[in-house]
Amino acid sequence: MAEIILYSIIIGAIGGGCIAAGAARMRHAPEVQAMGAFRTLGEMNACGGDPISHFSFGLGFLFSSAAAAVAAGALSQDVMHRIVPNWAAGALLLKNKDPEQTVWNPGKMMIAGAGVGAVVVTALNTVASAIPSNLSDIASGVLVQATTWLINPVMPAIFWLAAVDAGKVTGMWGTLLGGVSALITGNAVPGVVLGILVGKSAEENGYKSNIVRILIAIVVVMFLAIAYFRGFFAKLVF
């Protein structure tokens, strides 16, 4: 148990600090390189600088993450993408209500995220290691089915609706690349997200922009490479 706690503190602090700092840097993109998920930025913006909103939002995913840790023996993405950055932001906002000086300050978010990450990861891993194996097997059987439904079709539908709602051009690209991604990989979400990026770039800069042309070229090459290595073309031929 002592070894689990020690490793959890180290990993949680490093991961939490990096993720929180990366989320804060997303606010300043493209002037600076950032790291994080689009949903993280959107969810943090939706809290409107209210510390209680940040804490309650993260708390909503704490219990599901604990269940996932018990069932799968691993932390879900919600720990780093949702709980840590939102709780780090909430902790900073308790002292200073100005988001520009707190939530969107990478240095302060890194320190707060390291502390939150160390505590949360340690708590989840400790709980998971203390649960009897028979209970873990029961939880695993329930969560695997729920996760399968979440990955397909719930998440693709949500992202596709967001793409369509963003405008005709973005909706078209989201639908097109989402369909291609679903055919090649079995998951439409990556394609829809790329479609949103391409569509928004095209709306703002036009198709004659070098940035848009390069982005489209990268997406085409990437899908061709994925299709080739997954044997997609061979399946079409035979």
Q: DSSP string covering 52-74, please?
A: HHHHHHHHHHHHHHHHHHHHHSS
Question: At 231, is the pLDDT very low, low, confident or very high (cuts 50, 70, 90)?
Answer: confident
147-165 per-position pLDDT tens digit: 677 777 888 898 899 889 9
**Prediction pTM value:** 0.64
pLDDT score recorded for residue 5: 93
Number of domains composing the chain: 2
**End position of a domain, from candidates 99, 131, 163:** 131
Lowest mean pLDDT among 67-76, 155-164, 181-190: 67-76
Instruction: Return d(Cα 2, Cα 7) in angstroms, integer.
Output: 9
Residues 95 and 51 sit within 8 Å (Cβ to Cβ): no
Q: How far apart are the first and last CA of the chain?
A: 54
Question: At 238, is the pLDDT very low, low, confident or very high (cuts 50, 70, 90)?
Answer: low
Q: Looking at the domain assignment, is residue 219 inside a domain?
A: yes
Angle between helices 168-185 and 155-165 (to 10 degrees): 160
Residues 113 and 21 sit within 8 Å (Cβ to Cβ): yes
Q: Residue range 8-27: average pLDDT? A: 93
Q: Is the pLDDT of residue 131 over 80?
A: no
Instruction: Return d(Cα 47, Cα 50) in angstroms, integer.
Output: 6
Q: Is the pLDDT of residue 138 over 70?
A: no
In this structure, are 25 and 57 located in the same domain?
yes
Domain with 61 in it: 2-131
Q: Looking at the domain assignment, is residue 137 inside a domain?
A: no
N residues, the chain: 238
Q: Is the pLDDT of residue 177 over 90?
A: yes
